[in-house]
Structure 1
């Protein structure tokens, strides 16, 4: 009986730690751009804030509107700007913010059954190494929103 109580207490501590870590991650200004008729893919953008004392890492994303959602970045490789999938996730240091914006980090939405249209919105679930999952509603806009401040921390 004592083993069971200790196991139960351990599980409760793990859950409360995960809940506390999830509370330390904030997602602001989520958005996606309306797609032209021939676009095969879309992207989601946002700003991540880690208000906690511990570092975390964004390791994946999912949405019911796409067959696949991948973490991508634009990077200079050999003097050429390339878009590539980020292997191993994106670090989110303690007390920091990381911007996902055109020309930088973004969530690539692939295998879409149809084009996204302005005025729509969709759920996007972000998976963190420590904080677990966090789901946000992403509005689809005709134009990029005006970003507040210069959110370039983290790249």
Structure 2
């Protein structure tokens, strides 16, 4: 059974602060939000501590993350204070994965940018410290079409003579019915496809979603490196960092919208240049 526990409903608990070198491999499944928006964050442990199983996970809530809650897990004890959520008493083997979830709302007066949620992963006496971040996008730079809000549109710079390029964007459906992204087009490519990454026979593979991508009612779908994305096939010119790539997205219900993808560095995650510019 999974339950949600509010930090306001639990007494403050003193948590021992430990230290260890910081790493940068634990990330939120959903990495973007905006000031004033509700946020459901899911963190996945990437591994244990050099062979030792994980027995405690503590997330520190940053300033401006309001009405914070944490999701209880069977086999774990959850303690929530004014500033932290701590799961303890469980055991995740070094080669296994486990998810831990929090909910809350980003204050409306927060400035756009990266909001870090410090995480301590404890394996007996060993501790790994992580700094997963959520990028708050500027609401003034959102693009709206029908019930859909598009934000954080970007592409990665391509290497010389690369035949393909990748495009990414966050789509929020504020309506009561689902919509579907059915096609994409750009003068940079004769064929822009919607792709997903899927594990087939223990091998990560890329699959063309010919049927399109559903945008469920009341939910946010993020196209990001390593997951759902737009693949520009046989690009006609390179994606150059600092420039933009025009893109038209067509939705089943909302219709078509023109946006521009900010071209970031080759390995960018979208956390520094997050604007989705409306086309002219």
Measured against the shorter chain, the TM-score band is 0.7 to 0.9
After superposition, the Cα gap between the structure-2 partners of 1:65 and 1:38, relative to the gap in structure 1 and judged at 3 Å, is closer
Distance 2:185 2:210 in 1: 16
The residue aligned with 1:16 is none
Distance 1:53 1:84 in 2: 29
The residue aligned with 1:71 is 194
The residue aligned with 1:36 is 159
Instruction: Give how far 1:52 is off.
Output: 0.9
The residue aligned with 1:125 is 248
The residue aligned with 2:87 is none
Instruction: Give how far 1:65 is off.
Output: 1.2
Distance 1:146 1:122 in 2: 18
Distance 1:132 1:120 in 2: 26
TM-score by length of 2: 0.44
The residue aligned with 2:229 is 106
> CA offsets, 1:3-31, max 9 Å, x none?
xxxxxxxxxxxxxxxxxx93211111000
> CA offsets, 1:116-142, max 9 Å, x none?
110110211111111111111111011
> CA offsets, 1:95-130, max 9 Å, x none?
110010111111100121221110110211111111
Aligned-residue RMSD, C-alpha: 1.5
After superposition, the Cα gap between the structure-2 partners of 1:114 and 1:25, relative to the gap in structure 1 and judged at 3 Å, is same
Matched pairs, number:
127
Higher strand share: 2
Distance 1:126 1:113 in 2: 19
- Of residues 51, 55, 61, the one that matches 2:184 is 61
The residue aligned with 1:96 is 219
Distance 1:87 1:114 in 2: 25
**Rg larger for:** 2
Distance 2:161 2:187 in 1: 21
Instruction: Give how far 1:83 is off.
Output: 0.6
Instruction: Give how far 1:144 is off.
Output: 2.4
Runs of 5+ unmatched residues, structure 1: 1-20, 148-155
Runs of 5+ unmatched residues, structure 2: 1-143, 273-280
- Of residues 196, 208, 231, the one that matches 1:85 is 208
User: Does the 8 Å contact 2:239/2:245 carry over to 1?
Assistant: no
After superposition, the Cα gap between the structure-2 partners of 1:125 and 1:35, relative to the gap in structure 1 and judged at 3 Å, is same
Instruction: Give how far 1:36 is off.
Output: 1.2
User: Does the 8 Å contact 2:250/2:256 carry over to 1?
Assistant: yes
TM-score by length of 1: 0.77
Instruction: Give how far 1:90 is off.
Output: 0.8
1:48 aligned onto 2:171: yes
